[in-house]
Structure 1
Amino acid sequence: MEKRKIKSDNSSAGFGRNQAASVAIAGLIGAAAIGGTINAHQKFDPKTGVSPMAETPTAEAVSLAEPAWDLPNLDHERVDYWVERFTTDKRGDFTKFLERTGRYGPMISAKLAERGMPQDLIYLAMIESGMNPTAYSHAHASGLWQFIAETGQRYGLTVTRELDERNDPVKSTDAALDYLTYMHKRFNSWYLAAAGYNTGENRVARIMREETGSEKGNEYSYYEIWDRLPRETRDYVPLMIAAARIAKEPQKYGFESVVPEAALAYEEVPVDPSTPLAAVAQAVGAEAREIVRLNPHLKLGQTPANRRALVRIPEGTRTAFLVNWPQVREERTLAASDYKVRKGDSLLAIAQRHGTSVNALRQENQLRGDQIREGATLRIPTTAR
């Protein structure tokens, strides 16, 4: 099989440490940690298989103007292709990726640092979901890291109609890093681990055994087996590298005006089963959609029916919650009764059944439209009884 030649050059793409915008847009994902990183495009000798990883420069040897990489920044025609796409017809999408990375990047970065994992793995989440914790694919993968239900459950995530922790950006990140760590131990390569994340670890292992005689390789083995991978997986690492190049040096690609979202920050409070998030919002003085966004894993807009649960609230609002929650809970108990939505129900039918109006139901439950989920609990206003 003809092997793809891995190109290299002396150009650089990465965090310009004197560029505040670069650091901000990349979500503060460790740009300042120069030591132990790989800088500039990497050269690889396919004859010897020598990796420059063992020759990583010290912090003193690295110019502050150079970019920081802790995975090889390998050139490939598909990397160039995706850089072109992200900066032209997919520019709008990539702008949103960068904005959302400001929200979730610092959390992911901290978890990577705690485990001693490469910071560049953050771009796997970027290409998986566009940094969107509610993303859902045609293959039934969900969340920031696009777990299918079976794999998510294997790595400790609860997946039910009420609670889907694939959509929890924090817990799903822990699960994804566990999975990647396992595959790195198996393949001795983060890029092969990424390929396994996309197409399945057993397929990558089989291809590696057939091509090299061993499952274990290095960061350059990905391109050595490139032609054997499924089409989607052949683009996977090039997508990661393309996303990294742009995110690390946004001003080079015309993204310097992107304003990243504020970093995810929250506190947690315990509440009763079937507690509507709208009630929590009332207690902390926030809009319901803000509490919903902090808790995308609570699929019915309320806590699970069978147990108490922790709900995330905006940072700095815990005191307000503790002061206001007893009164809010009592008022809602006195002012409304509960109704569990059944199959075939509509807001109009429920309103007519309880002698109230659709608008009153919307207001009581802070609904923006007419869509309701089977199994959700609605509060019926006291004026209906």
Structure 2
Amino acid sequence: MIKKRVLCSSVILTVFILSNLYSSPQPESLADPFRKALDQSMISNVHSNIETAKKNSKDDFYSQFSFANESIPHEQGFVRKRLDKYLGKFAYLKRPSHQIHKKADQLLPRIAKILKSYGIPEDFKYIAVVESSLNPQTTSHKGAGGYWQFMPATARLYGLRVNGNIDERLDLIKSTHAAAKYLKSLHKEFGDWTLAAAAYNVGGGSLRSSLRRQKKDNYYDLRLNAETASYVYKIISMKSILENS
């Protein structure tokens, strides 16, 4: 059992080390076939090690993932497949970048402290990373903005000023207090932290409708739009990447 756990942990650590290597700025070479071959070999070896770990110790590999202090149904194939997808997507080159790591080190402890004061699990701090990459200037095509990607109406509802002169969605402390209030209200409504996270993405009304129509009470059993169906998996994957790299 110990050997299996060590194997799983070492495989994940290898992925994260490789992620850091590639996310750090690298000087470009005009012609470096040896570097390219080495890169491909390293990635191939990592994938091979991951598959070996899964075959030898599937339960150990997936059971270490959790959200909001609760285990996830890792025994289900589709759950494992989605975790694989976003762990791979975030680990290789795309995200998190060196800049996101740096911002996370600076900002996530401050976010976690505020969330804790409201009784919200620390894992919710990764929503800000998934939503905006901790860049307050990020704006969605629908008009959501700031660290927590609040829509203007929702931001105002939870005490933020958003007008032509000021946008408090860009203020880390004020917007995090607003997000904490919103998350707490969603948890009160749904009685489940994972559903609260899903509702943060899709909206409480839409999630209520899905729960009622499908007669389900669990996020992992719901059929949701593609973005919301992947939302919690993205949070869990980002948490794993940032905590282990």
TM-score (normalised: structure 1) = 0.45
Distance 1:247 1:169 in 2: 19
Corresponding position of 1:229: 224
Q: In the aligned structure 2, how far is the partner of 1:67 from the partner of 1:154?
A: 34
Higher helix residue share: 2
State the Cα distance separating 1:40 from its structure 2 match. Answer: 8.4
Task: Using the TM superposition, give the Cα deviation of residue 79 of structure 1 relative to its aligned residue in structure 2, in angstroms.
Answer: 1.8
Query: Alpha-carbon deviation of 1:69?
Result: 6.3
- 1:306-345 CA-to-partner distances (Å, cap 9, x unmatched) read xxxxxxxxxxxxxxxxxxxxxxxxxxxxxxxxxxxxxxxx
Equivalent of 1:155 in 155, 158, 163: 158
Displacement of 1:210 in angstroms is 2.1
In the aligned structure 2, how far is the partner of 1:67 from the partner of 1:208? 25
Per-residue deviation, residues 256-287 of structure 1 (Å, max 9, x unmatched): xxxxxxxxxxxxxxxxxxxxxxxxxxxxxxxx
Q: Is the aligned partner of 1:79 residue 2:74?
A: no
How do residues 169-208 of structure 1 correspond to structure 2 at under 5 angstroms? 169-208=172-211
- In the other structure, the counterpart of 2:119 is 116
TM-score computed with the length of structure 2 as normaliser: 0.69
1:245 corresponds to 2:243: no
Deviation at 1:94, TM superposition (A): 3.5
2: CA distance between counterparts of 1:157 and 1:183? 18
Q: 1:25 aligns to what?
A: none
Deviation of 1:72 (Å): 3.1
**Counterpart Cα distance in 1 of 2:66 and 2:194:** 17
The verdict on how the C-alpha distance between 1:239 and 1:94 changes in structure 2, with shifts beyond 3 A counting, is: farther
Question: Are the aligned partners of 2:68 and 2:193 in contact in 1 as well (CA < 8 Å)?
Answer: no
Letter in 1 for 2:140: S
Q: How far did 1:116 drift?
A: 2.0
Is the CA contact (8 Å cut-off) linking 2:66 and 2:236 kept in structure 1?
no
Task: Please tell me whether the aligned partners of residues 65 and 236 of structure 2 are also in contact (alpha carbons under 8 angstroms).
Answer: no
Question: What code does the residue aligned with 2:173 have?
Answer: V
2:135 equivalent in structure 1: 132
Contact conserved, 1:96 with 1:130, CA < 8 A, in 2? no
Letter in 2 for 1:72: E
For the residues of structure 2 that align with 1:73 and 1:129, how far apart are their CA atoms? 26
Q: What is the CA distance between 1:113 and its match in structure 2?
A: 1.7
User: Aligned partners of 2:66, 2:213: CA distance in 1, in Å?
Assistant: 34
- The 8 Å contact of residues 40 and 73 in structure 1, kept in 2 or not, is answered as no
Rounded to whole Å, the distance in 2 between the matches of 1:105 and 1:235 is 22
Mapped to 2, the partners of 1:67 and 1:79 lie a distance apart of 9
Q: 1:244 Cα shift? A: 0.8
1:235 is paired with a residue whose SS is helix
Q: 1:143 to 1:125 in 2, by over 3 A?
A: same
Matched AA of 1:223: Y
Q: CA deviation at 1:89?
A: 3.5
Instruction: Show the counterpart of 2:109.
Output: 106
Unaligned runs of 5+ in 2: 14-59
Letter in 2 for 1:245: S
Larger relative contact order (Cα-Cα within 8 Å, sequence gap ≥ 6): 2
Deviation at 1:206, TM superposition (A): 1.0
Amino acid in the other structure paired with 1:132: N
Query: Is the Cα contact below 8 Å between 1:112 and 1:119 reproduced in 2?
Result: yes
Report the counterpart of residue 92 of structure 2 in structure 1: 88
- 3-state DSSP class of the match of 2:242? helix
CA shift, 1:139, in A, is 1.5
Aligned residues: 186
- Equivalent residues in 2 for 1:286-297, closer than 5 Å: none
Alignment of 1:1-385 (within 5 A): 11=8, 41-42=62-63, 70-74=68-72, 75=74, 76=79, 77-91=81-95, 93-212=96-215, 217=217, 221-225=218-222, 228-250=223-245
Whole-angstrom distance in 1 between the partners of 2:234 and 2:102: 18
Instruction: Give a deviation string over 1:192-226, Cα, whole Å, max 9, x none.
Output: 1111111111111111122236xxx4xxx11110x
